[in-house]
Structure 1
Amino acid sequence: MTKSLLPAPYAHPYEIDPKYAKSAVYFCCEFAIDQSFKIYSGGLGFLAGSHMRSAAALKQNLVGIGVYWTCGYYNQTRGEGREMAVQFRSKEYAFLQDTGIRFQIPIYGKQVWVGAHFLPGEVFGTVPMFFLTTDLPENDADDRQITQRLYDNDPYRRIAQYTVLGAGGARLLEELKVDPEVWHLNEAHALSAAFRVLERFKGDVKEVKKRFVFTTHTPEEAGNEKHEFELLKKASFFGSLDEATVRKATGIEGDTFNHSLAALRMSRAANGVSKLHGEVSRKMWGGYDDICSIGHVTNAQNAQYWKDRGLERARVNKDTEFLAERKKELRQQLFRLVADQTGKLLDPKALTIVWARRFAGYKRADLITRDEKLFRELLNISDRPVQIIWAGKPFPFDYGAIHTFNHLVRLTKDYPNASVVVGYELEISRQLKYGADIWLNNPVVTREASGTSGMTAAMNAAVNLSTFDGWVCEFAKDGHNSFIVPPADPSLTPEERDRHDLLGIHRILRETVIPMFYDRPDDWWNIVLNSMNEVVPFFDSDRMADEYYTSIYK
């Protein structure tokens, strides 16, 4: 019988499938596991949470390591003028078990205490997981704050957070007396773990490469995190290694340390998170020496967690009448939430468009509104009503994204059929997908590494209307299971490209989606069923978790 990576009392609660016997540990800054466990910001966490559920369903010998963010990401609320407001509040979780494990790691010349909490797999149907914290009475106030806020805006504290996740996670494994065969870095945040292992093997980078694999989620070189080399040294990001050893292992020259490039040079395999992203990544990093091979494992989401059972039953039975009724019920539930937040009563029989994901510039949340005349005409069609809902969390210090959010709040004030809701987390995400007819996705093409929200929308009878980017390129068949905006000519300026995509969205809505939804319901429900049938199994995270073992971990 294959032995669990972990000792009692932390061992896997299931017999390991021999197919997945290789022991692996998965490092990630955030995990969206349950609505009640608020240690995530958005897509990366949603993905990681699905991965942990599927790894458990497949009985894999995998363990998750993250951080216990005592103040989470932030609570998104409204100010007095209905604009977005941010709240940071400490939270405690009775379902986490304090392991009693305590150890110290050096950070900025101090020995900082780190504790570990354990999440048994039975609680939420995941693999066993550990969450690290410095918010301990043994530490002073500054050190306690290291693990309070996810993605802290202070760059010095952010480096300390990465050191806790990586070096602290490696130290935890030493305390548990386990040495995984695979160390999986989901993004480069936990890279300091590789330097802890490099210390153990006295600078032999080959021993590190035997163990480490790296998943990159960033499709532009400029978006990959960099810090001053000297600052990382002061933070003890490299542990006790001398500068020469670090530079030899990473090939990094000069004053700037590129985390992703170092991860590519200290891993034996790496992957992008969609087929297109794999191609973009190989092109982006192809000019650098000594990097590992870069493949791709397309992101996916856990269908067992996300699917509404009524919609799924209708799909299996090909019962479009029940599908329509169930969808109407779910819309009504969503609209109660919208009414509670905004005072607007939406129509459960009207075509409902939803844009919901992290607010970031390249995702262009406001694109459909940038021609106010077209937007007004769309929302004022009296005989074929259209309504739209936005939701999403900007980074709390991304003032451009917050401005876009507040602009939409102001813009929709006078439209009874347009709303912006706050508090976009797992449960609101679920309700929006259950209630949406059209899931709008319009990132700048090649800027979205994968994107996953449209997958779970498709599982729940929402049809994707999207630019041709990320995972959509592997799924979409225009007019069959989705609606696709034709790609813009690469020679266009950013302004011309945005205009092209805006006009494409409005054209598809007016000429195809609205007539089909209202005048040809049989054709509409046929596209819905095609979408539901074809998004699974490939975009179910069971496939993804299996592929990591068979393709990346092998």
Structure 2
Amino acid sequence: MSEYAKWYHPYHINEQYSERVAYFSMEFGIHQALKTYSGGLGYLAGSHMRSAYELRQNLIGVGILWKFGYYDQVRNDDQTMRVQFQKKFYTFLEDTGIKVQVTIHGNQVWVKALVLKPETFGTVPMYFLTTDIPENDYLSRTITHRLYDSELPTRIAQSIVLGIGGVKVVEALGGAAIYHLNEAHALPLAFHLYDRYREIPEVKKRLVFTTHTPEKAGNEEHGVDLLEKMSFFGSLSTDDARRITGTDGPILNYTLAALRLAKIANGVSQLHGEVSRDMWNGFEGICKIKAITNAQNITYWQNPYLKKALDNNDDHLLLQLKEEMKRPLFEVVADQTGKLFRTDVLTIVWARRFAGYKRADLLLHDLHRFFDLINQKDFPVQVIWAGKPYPQDQYAVDIFNKLVRLSYQKDNFAVLTGYELELSAKLKQGSDVWLNTPRRPREASGTSGMTAALNGSINFTVQDGWIPEFGRHGENSFLFPIVDTTLPDYVQDEVDYSNMMEILEQEIIPMYYQDKRKWVQIMKQSMHDVAAYFGAERMADEYYKLLYK
């Protein structure tokens, strides 16, 4: 049996962070080789685990080992997007010897825990759960196959595995003082705690909750009858589950239930904290919602040579390095699309999860104007898109494919597949401008802009998520003017598009080519400002001080 079959850290715990905390997340973006994430939620959780390790915190991570990952984004014969599910194998995960049972749809299912040791990738100990073991029947084995499975009963089963299976694994390790739900996917954990202590205050004492999205799709809710059939409430009766979550009607909202059973919760930026408080205002019995702004691990994300040039205030070297850092990205562009991008050309990147509210195609709102922009000879522009739509989100997949088809026509316009940690790093290091176009205020945080800024890519963005705490137009970023969010969506899109193009044409492009001194000033200020507050060590510290204690 592994030494990691008990609560164990390979370092002397920093006494500021001595509370035993188990952090539950459906996805973790730890390393390119470990496919247990889909996007920003996973990147954020991965950075948290790295910074908790660097701070020597008494924290562990609990997630699921997805046999097929999220999905592999590959191409059809015509270059449009194809979804591939490929089995994953990991020799660096170790069997802890811990196996627990959970009830799913009235049947007993075994859950095995494997450990990712801290020295492997520089994280706190992390426990990944799988049902894909010989002790289970075929259907039970498939529960942990695909992250965010499209089949609703499987999704519900995944929550039971993470919540109840996860808490039982933590108990086998010796238990935790605090259970932290990163999103409400692991909500069944709360029912297990209530079954154990039979007092709501005892559950609240141990449970904290982070909500990540003002999007309806991100606040899962399902019929109570279906949840009861799936054994979502563990050993609790449905009446008890209704009572402690304040659920009167036919639907249980995961986020609302978590807000009623946690001692404290947080949004993931100051603006998102306000949005969340407004969103849940008027619902009885919810806990206080604070704001702890998301952050990213600087050690993992920032190019060390770029940091050294910044520390030495070497403008010439900074610009030289930015040009050199484009080469690995442009090799990917050439490999995937057959196009040779130039390192001396302003390169704009839009890269993140493809979702409707993020408006991946806003830059193409007026196609003639877009093509005029990228056809300029005096001030050339290169544009790259990348990102993974949810496979069943046909609207988002259609936008991705529309971009691919349009990109055939131009040698300075590329759409890349395979947006995972490695490509994400190349895009952030190789871009000059990081374009972010969500409809305000629907982006909870948007941490990709932080890691772009760490690598000298200047944010050009809607003032949403973390940006109001960071952005100063023309000083460390370029900002869209705030649009009246009571206007219809199509009007907001028109106004944002008009403002975006004006700033691009009148400020960004001329500055890049005609005032390199000003450009590098903004780049440096951006790098300084993002490292000063948006490193995940600050976030991991705040979680202990504001949520756990």
Q: Does the pair score TM above 0.5? A: yes
Q: Which amino acid in structure 2 is aligned with residue 451 of structure 1?
A: G
Corresponding position: 1:118 with 2:130: no
Name the structure 2 match of 1:147. 144
Partner in structure 1 of residue 348 of structure 2: 353
Residue aligning to 1:283: 278
Are 2:189 and 1:189 equivalent residues in the alignment? no
Aligned to 2:78: 81
Distance, in Å, in 2 between the alignment partners of 1:222 and 1:118 is: 31
1:419-454 deviation per Cα after TM superposition (whole angstroms, max 9, x unaligned): 000000000000000000000001000000001000
1:17 has 2:14 as partner: yes
Output the amino acid matched with 1:332. Answer: R
Q: Matched residues, percent identical?
A: 53
Q: In the TM superposition, what is the alpha-carbon distance from 1:103 to its structure 2 partner?
A: 2.2
CA distance in 2, matches of 1:463, 1:180: 41
Aligned equivalent of 2:308, options 296, 309, 313: 313
Alpha-carbon deviations, 1:379-415, whole Å to 9, x = none? 0110110010000000111111000000000111101
- Alignment correspondent of 2:97: 100
Deviation at 1:245, TM superposition (A): 1.4
In 2, Cα distance between equivalents of 1:373 and 1:366:
14
* Aligned pair partner of 2:469 in 471, 474, 489: 474
Alignment check: 8 A CA contact 1:221 1:284 kept: no
Matching residue of 2:69:
72
Partners of 1:119 and 1:491 lie apart in 2 by 47
Unaligned runs of at least 5 residues, structure 2: none
Whether the 8 Å contact between 2:5 and 2:172 is mirrored in structure 1 is no
Residues 86-145 of structure 1 deviation map (CA, whole Å, 9 limit, x = unaligned): 100111101100112222211001101111101111111000010000001111111110
In the alignment, what sits opposite 1:207? 202
Q: 2:368 aligns with which of 348, 373, 382?
A: 373
Distance 1:222 1:326 in 2: 41
Distance 1:318 1:511 in 2: 28
Among 173, 176, 180, which residue is 1:180 paired with? Answer: 176
Equivalent residue number for residue 3 of structure 1:
none
Partners of 1:69 and 1:490 lie apart in 2 by 38
1:512 is the counterpart of 2:498: no
| Deviation of 1:490 (Å) | 3.0
- The structural deviation recorded for 1:493 is 1.7
2:520 to 502, 525, 528: 525
SS in 2 for 1:12: coil
For residues 222 and 139 of structure 1, do their structure 2 counterparts lie closer, same or farther at Cα, with a shift above 3 Å needed?
Answer: closer
1:452 to 447, 455, 458: 447
Displacement after TM superposition at 1:10 (Å): 5.4
Q: Once structures 1 and 2 are overlaid, which stretch shifts more, 8-17 or 314-323? A: 8-17
Match of 1:497 in 2: 492
**Structure 1 segment 155-554 matched on structure 2, within 5 A:** 155-176=152-173, 178-201=174-197, 203-220=198-215, 223-554=218-549
What is the CA-CA distance between 1:73 and the residue it aligns to? 0.4
Q: Kindly tell me the number of residue pairs found equivalent between the two proteins.
A: 547
Letter in 1 for 2:64: V
Match of 1:27 in 2: 24
State how far apart, in whole Å, the 1-side matches of 2:486 and 2:226 are. Answer: 40
Contact 2:440 2:485 in 1 (8 A): no
RMSD of equivalent CA atoms: 1.1
Give per-residue Cα distances to partners, 1:262-290, cap 9 Å, x unaligned: 00000000000000000000011011011
**Partner SS state of residue 294, structure 2:** coil
What CA distance in whole angstroms lies between the structure 2 residues aligned with 1:552 and 1:98?
31
Give the CA deviation at 1:489.
Answer: 2.3
Structure 1: give runs of 5+ residues left out of the alignment. 1-5
Matching residue's letter, 1:115: K
Deviations 1:164-196 (A, max 9, x none): 0000011112222x2211110000001101111
Give the letter aligned to residue 249 of structure 1: I
Q: Deviations over 1:478-512 (max 9, x none)?
A: 01000001011234221111011111111111100
After TM superposition, the structure 1 stretch with the greater mean CA deviation from structure 2, 458-467 or 310-319, is 310-319
Question: 2: distance between equivalents of 1:232 and 1:226?
Answer: 10
Whole-Å separation in 2 of the counterparts to 1:136 and 1:223: 30
Q: What secondary structure does 2:385 align onto? A: strand
| Whole-angstrom CA distance in 1 between matches of 2:260 and 2:296 | 29
Work out the CA distance in 1 between the residues paired with 2:308 and 2:375. Answer: 35
Equivalent residue of 1:509, what SS? Answer: helix
What's the offset of the Cα at 1:204? 1.3
Cα displacement (A) at 1:333: 1.5
- Name the SS of the counterpart of 1:289 in structure 2: coil
| One-letter amino acid of the counterpart of residue 132, structure 2 | D
AA aligned to 2:82 is A
- Whole-Å Cα distance in 2 between the matches of residues 417 and 352 of structure 1? 9
- Using the alignment, how far apart are the partners of 1:28 and 1:443 within structure 2? 24
In the alignment, the residues of structure 1 paired with residue 5 and residue 391 of structure 2 have an alpha-carbon distance, to the nearest angstrom, of 40
SS of residue paired to 1:414: coil
Q: Per-residue CA shift, 1:278-328, capped at 9, x if unaligned? A: 000001101101100000100000011000011111110111100111111
Tell me, in whole angstroms, the C-alpha distance in 2 between the residues paired with 1:211 and 1:403: 44
TM-score if structure 1 supplies the norm length? 0.97
Report Cα offsets for 1:191-228 as digits up to 9, x if no partner.
10111111111x31111000000000111456411000
Measured in 1, the distance between the counterparts of 2:31 and 2:261 equals: 33
Give the Cα–Cα distance (whole angstroms) in 1 for the partners of residues 266 and 38 of structure 2. 22
Structure 1 residues 7 and 367: alpha-carbon distance in aligned structure 2, compared to 1, 3 A threshold: closer
